[in-house]
Amino acid sequence: MTCDFKSFDFPSASTSRYLESVNTVLEKSLKGVYAFFDVLEDEDHFQEVLHKAAELKEKFSTFVILGTGGSSLGAKTLCDLSTNPFQENVHFLNNVDPLTIHHLVDVLDLEKTVFIAISKSGSTAETLMQTLCLMKVVEEKGLDVKNHFQIITEDKDSPMDRLAKKYAMTSLTHHKKIGGRFSIFSNVGLLPAALSGVDIKILRSSALVAFKNFKETSAVDHPAVQGAISSALHHAEGRNISIMMPYLDRLQSFAAWYCQLWGESLGKEGKGTTPVVALGTVDQHSQLQLYSDGPDDKIYTFLVQDTSKVWLDRNLTPNGYVSMDSKLEYLKDRTMGDLLFAEARATMEALEHKERPVRAIFFAKMAEKELGELLIHFMLETIICAEIIGVDAFDQPGVEKSKVLTRSYLKNLRS
């Protein structure tokens, strides 16, 4: 994977003042401060995930993940790497829209289904409501809930912990020093990934190599450092929106994961930039007009695979009509992958022509190795940027008020 900051220069005069922040992250990395990186080397933790995945696969064919935010976005990113979206065996319920849950329940074979509820705090209202309602569904089918529910939560007293003990549900421990949005390489992300068929050994190995490379690379030369500095410098110039635009459907969930990681880590004390998900080619037809001709308040990251050179044995090609209409000459002897790659290049070049700041991350293919590297890159970029702008990347004080109000409104409904 290569990072190419096509429209941004990194003169030493601009970057030198940020190197102290970069070195702070590097020093913390070397000292093992970041538990979400250290878990990559926790062999006992990894083997527990492998054992649990094998155990569940022997008993069940369908797996439903109950969780929200960091308890599901990372796992969904991993699962989308290998899952056929039209034949999923791992489903994610990350909201409390009752109709969505009804639709899923209607098509599940509950005897062959296990629900995995994930909440670090053990008190997430949405996850608790999902779990309790689905327990009732399972009970009404005459099934024993303890056999159909697994819990991942911190090893401490909480509603989720008490629920698991009351019903003798099997629990895995959520690492107490790893927040949800950074939990993708822990059991929170790896267990669903293993259940969906992702080779988590390759993923883990790639992530370890990428993290090691950061610790051994000259700071200013590392793409994650350049990305963090780029964001800070552009923010200072009034560009406070960060567009993440993959040109692969499988990476749309990655963009959603990035949005939480970036937004919740940096958006504090009036600081931070707003992350936005876009998908190529879809959003060329909904957002490109704004990006190209609207206010110059955005930076753009494109995730691009050369799809003209992959899946050659099954790359879709037009039927014979393409030769009958002169207006379709440009599609003759071309594949659908050719079109996707050409549109990615054209969109980037069009934005560069308008002097918009564009970064492109290219990869020859997208599999476990590439995704592991990509995830480490953006985790590093996020925590480095947090150091640069002077915020704590690991808290989220701004969400507490809405939680208090939610509980208050629910109590008032009863009265």
Cβ neighbour number for residue 61 with a 10 Å cutoff: 12
Catalytic residue of the set 31, 285, 353, 401: 285
Report percent pLDDT > 90 for the chain. 81
Q: How far apart are CA 107 and CA 105, in angstroms?
A: 5
Closest CA to 123 of 88, 151, 149: 151
Which amino acid is it at 137?
V
Catalytic residue of the set 126, 264, 368, 381: 264
Report percent pLDDT > 70 for the chain. 95
Report the pLDDT value the prediction gives residue 84, as an integer from 0 to 100: 86
**Which pairing describes strands 2-5 and 358-363: parallel, antiparallel, or unpaired?**
antiparallel
Reported as a pLDDT band with limits 50, 70 and 90, residue 126 is very high
Cβ neighbour number for residue 348 with a 10 Å cutoff: 23
Q: Which two tokens stand for residue 69?
A: 């935010």
Q: How far apart are CA 44 and CA 413, in angstroms?
A: 46
Average pLDDT for residues 14-39, to the nearest whole number? 88
Report the pLDDT value the prediction gives residue 312, as an integer from 0 to 100: 67
Q: How far apart are CA 74 and CA 70, in angstroms?
A: 6
Mind giving me the DSSP string for 120-147?
SSS--HHHHHHHHHHHHHHHHTT--HHH
Q: How far apart are CA 93 and CA 98, in angstroms?
A: 10
User: Per-residue pLDDT tens for 150-192?
Assistant: 999 999 999 999 999 999 999 999 999 999 999 999 999 999 9
Report the pLDDT value the prediction gives residue 277, as an integer from 0 to 100: 98
253: helix, strand or coil: helix
User: Is residue 353 among the annotated active site residues?
Assistant: no
Report the pLDDT value the prediction gives residue 8, as an integer from 0 to 100: 55
User: Is residue 285 among the annotated active site residues?
Assistant: yes
Q: How far apart are CA 85 and CA 76, in angstroms?
A: 11
Domains of the chain with bracketed CATH: 2-28+202-389 (3.40.50.10490), 35-198 (3.40.50.10490)
User: Per-residue pLDDT tens for 187-238?
Assistant: 999 999 999 999 999 999 999 999 999 998 867 788 999 899 999 999 989 9
* Burial class of residue 318 in the structure, from the number of CB atoms within 10 Å of its CB (0-12 exposed, 13-18 middle, 19+ buried): middle
Closest CA to 71 of 4, 130, 117: 117
User: Is residue 264 among the annotated active site residues?
Assistant: yes
Kind plus residue range of the DSSP H or E element containing 406: helix 400-414
Reported as a pLDDT band with limits 50, 70 and 90, residue 4 is very low
**CA-based torsion, 135, 141, 142, 144: positive or negative:** negative
Answer whether 366's CB lies under 8 Å from 307's CB: no
Average pLDDT for residues 375-387, to the nearest whole number? 96
User: Per-residue pLDDT tens for 60-109?
Assistant: 999 999 999 999 999 999 999 987 888 899 999 999 999 999 999 999 99
299: β partners: 242
Q: How far apart are CA 136 and CA 114, in angstroms?
A: 14
Q: Is the peptide bond between 281 and the residue preceding it cis, with omega within 30 degrees of 0?
A: yes
